[in-house]
Amino acid sequence: MNKNKKALAILMRARMRPNFNDPAKLSLFPLSSNPKDNQFAGNAMQPASDRGNRMANDLGNTESAFEVVRESMHAAMSMNKTEVLDDVLNNFSEGYFSLSHENRRKLLLVLAREYDLNRAQVRELIKQYLGLELPSVSGEKAKVSGYEEEGLFSSFYRIERNLRHALQPVYEVLFERLNTHPGGLRFLSILRADILSILAEENFVSLRALDSYLKGKLSTWLSPAALELHQITWDDPASLLEKIVAYEAVHPISNLLDLKRRLGVGRRCFGYLHPAIPGEPLIFIEVALLKNVAQTIQEVLWDSPPITENEATCALFYSISSTQPGLSGINLGKFLIKRVITLVKREMPHISTFATLSPIPGFMQWILSKLASQTKFSEADMSQKPAEGCSSTFWENLLRPEEEKTLLSLPKDVATGKDGMEVMFNLLTSTDYKWTKSPELLSVLKPPLMRLCARYLLQEKKRGKALDSVANFHLQNGAMIERLNWMADRSEKGLSQSAGIMVNYVYRLEHIEEYAHSYFSTGDIHASCDLRHSVEP
């Protein structure tokens, strides 16, 4: 214990973001980070520090550096002897980390294109397969249906097996070998983070195929069966606790006392650990035990517990952070939440409500771009047809008449604009969130902000899923949207992301699977009556 405390104290004094034990290894971070669909828990990932990047660039941006790593990559796939292989894999991963951004990109494209599958072999097998005559068996399904037919199908089984094998790209070997190599799984996760950041800039079909293949492999290796649910406590090693400090994405941990509180009475913290990435949870969730579902983050970030654990009836998930940007799109959280609920329920049967108090990371961006574009449409319309309102099919007044009226009746020294939307835009973008300091402005802005936030969460979609990444995360896990909370997070981050609004998602044990399924298949979003009413026209 004392050892842990001391280590932590040193860590905290030094900096909040640890160097992962060795400052020279800063380049172990992925190139860039925070791929968009990993944002459900806020900004979990920080980019590699400038210093780390500069180091990498100095050493790794030459053509010869690239060729060395390219050769070790080739060796890693083509060599046979396992002992040497360990060295080769180490060379390759160390070499990779030393490469500049540009050289990493080049290397990954080489991997995607030149270590693809053998199409000639696939064609050959395919022709053999088509040459097989389907035995005219009982069913029309071309399946074995009795002992006497077993023999007829042996060629099918053989070629199907070979075809499965031939359809594996050559880079499959590299992935498999890295997976069984110490540190390899973590390396693969960093490799994928880099791939995602390249694909975010430019769409390479070959690299996208590689990414989808690698994602499939990672999903298998990180299957819930291989993950261990671990309750993180103050008794855990400092080396693990520093990861919590570093990766806590939703409500940053400010000091040693704060971290200890997050693990103390009235709270729980659970993480998923994978044996191959020891001492570093892939994802972790923080829980507060409460009497009621909290409406503001202040109710959760207490200094001393407001109630005893026995009085709690609600387990509130107030923070979920993933630590690996390279695992983006692999939903580790789903099983985590489900398992944590089961665990808490078993330990504390008196807890009947499982809810979150969640950020709405995309709301302000959405509403500001909506307001800005409507204002533009409105201007365009005005110049053409000054009379009879706005008739463009794209134009939509986001505000209700009474909201428009109140906004336009504000004194001119407080807010200006030719219509309610422009006034609102100007208020929301004023420096230092001035609007949040005036009771009058708060009361004017609350109705349209709350209503539009509900609309954003319940109705705005992208490819059939909720536009907001955190909403999408909880909805696909089977939650429903319960309640919006006004001025629930007055921090700089809370105001800039969602005008201070936070949302409670609720997991109803008896509906989790039904809701997850309907959201998955039809995009249906379940919400409380109040919220549904608030967005009705």
Task: Give the residue numbers annotated as catalytic, written as ranges.
Answer: 358, 474
Residue 17 Cβ vs its own copies, minimum distance, rounded to whole Å: 27
HEC letters along 361-386: CCHHHHHHHHHHHHHHHHHHHHHHCC
Please report how many Cα atoms fall inside a 13 Å half-sphere around the Cα of residue 364, on the Cβ side: 18
How far apart are alpha carbons 499 and 55 in whole angstroms? Answer: 39
Question: Does 84 help bind its own copies (rule: CB under 8 A)?
Answer: yes
Q: Which of 95, 184, 361, 420 binds its own copies (CB under 8 A)?
A: 184
Interface residue with its own copies among 154, 409, 491, 496 (CB under 8 A) is 154
Structure token digits, residue 252: 């940053």
Does 138 participate in binding its own copies (rule CB under 8 A)? Answer: no
The interface with its own copies within residues 257-316 (CB under 8 A) comprises 274-276
List, in sequence order, the alpha helices (H) in 274-408.
Answer: 332-347, 363-384, 401-408
**Max CA pair span of the chain:** 91
Nearest to 241 by CA among 264, 275, 266: 264
- Using rule CB under 8 A, residue 151 touches its own copies: yes
- Residue 279 CB, nearest approach to its own copies (Å): 13
Selection from 399, 490, 397 nearest residue 448 by Cα? 399
Q: Classify 296 as helix, strand or coil.
A: coil
**Residue at 318: amino acid letter:** Y
| Residue number, 57 or 518, with CB nearest to its own copies | 518
Scanning 13-21, 148-156, 453-461, 498-506 for contacts with its own copies by CB under 8 A, the matching segment is: 148-156
Binding of residue 346 to its own copies (CB under 8 A):
no
- Amino acid at position 152, single letter: L
Q: Which is nearer to its own copies, 26 or 88 (CB)?
A: 88
**Contacts with its own copies in 185-214 (CB under 8 A)?**
185, 204-206, 208-209, 212
**C-alpha span between 299 and 123 (Å, rounded):** 64
Q: Pattern of binders to its own copies over 486-515, x per CB under 8 A?
A: --------------------------xxx-
What does the angle CA 128 – CA 119 – CA 173 come to, to the nearest 5 degrees?
110
Question: What is the nearest approach in angstroms of its own copies to the Cβ of residue 104?
Answer: 17
Query: Of the ranges 43-51, 151-159, 286-294, 484-492, which one interacts with its own copies (CB under 8 A)?
Result: 151-159
Under a CB-based contact definition with an 8 Å cutoff, are residues 357 and 485 in contact? Answer: yes
Please work out, in degrees rounded to the nearest 5, the angle formed at the alpha carbon of residue 324 by the alpha carbons of 44 and 514: 85
3-state secondary structure of 481: strand
Our finding on whether 516 is near its own copies (CB under 8 A) is yes
Please check whether residue 447 is in contact with residue 484, taking contact to mean a CB–CB distance below 8 angstroms.
no
Stretch that binds its own copies, among 219-227, 252-260, 280-288, 390-398 (CB under 8 A): 219-227
Rounded to whole angstroms, how far apart are CA atoms 375 and 396? 10
| 145 part of the interface to its own copies, by CB under 8 A | yes
CB of 417 to its own copies, least distance (A): 46
CA distances from 17 to 45, 151, 255, 419 (A): 11, 63, 12, 46
3-state secondary structure of 153: helix
> One-letter amino acid identity for 118?
N
Interacting residues with its own copies between 164 and 183 (CB under 8 A): 164, 167, 179-180
What track of x and - describes contact with its own copies for positions 226 through 255 (by CB under 8 A)? xxx---------------------------
The yes or no reply on residue 143 touching its own copies (CB under 8 A) is yes
* Residue 163 in contact with its own copies, rule: CB under 8 A: yes
Residue 150 touching its own copies (CB under 8 A): yes
> Footprint of its own copies on residues 95-114 (CB under 8 A)?
112-114
Contact mark string toward its own copies, 34..73, x via CB under 8 A: ----------------------------------------
Residue among 50, 83, 388, 413 that touches its own copies (CB under 8 A)? 83
Are 456 and 468 within 8 A, CB to CB? Answer: yes
Q: Are 252 and 244 in contact (CB under 8 A)?
A: no
> Is residue 157 involved in binding its own copies (CB under 8 A)?
yes
Of 68, 74, 129, 486, which one interacts with its own copies (CB under 8 A)? 129
> Is 227 or 470 the residue whose CB approaches its own copies more closely?
227
Q: How far is the CB of 8 from its own copies (least distance, A)?
A: 26
Which tokens sit at 310?
Answer: 């026995």
The answer to the question of residue 144 lying near its own copies (CB under 8 A) is: yes
Question: CA 124, CA 118: separation in Å to the nearest integer?
Answer: 10
| Residue 464 beta carbon to its own copies: minimum distance, rounded to whole angstroms | 17
Strands 353-356 and 314-322: parallel
Q: Does the footprint of its own copies cover residue 223 (CB under 8 A)?
A: yes
Half-sphere exposure of 500 (CA within 13 A, CB side): 17
The only residue of 127, 346, 412, 437 in contact with its own copies, by rule CB under 8 A: 127
> Judged by CB under 8 A, does residue 160 bind its own copies?
yes
**Exposed, middle or buried by CB within 10 Å (0-12, 13-18, 19+), for 206?**
middle
123 binds its own copies (CB under 8 A): yes
Instruction: Pull the structure tokens for residue 459.
Output: 């109705």
Which residue do the tokens 């030459």 mark? Answer: 62
Torsion of CA 339, 342, 346, 348, to 10 degrees: 100
Q: Which is nearer to its own copies, 413 or 510 (CB)?
A: 510
- Judged by the rule CB under 8 A, the positions of this chain that interact with its own copies are 80-85, 112-114, 116-117, 119-120, 122-123, 126-127, 129-130, 134, 141-145, 147, 150-151, 153-154, 156-157, 160-161, 163-164, 167, 179-180, 184-185, 204-206, 208-209, 212, 220-221, 223-228, 274-276, 335, 512-514, 516-517, 521
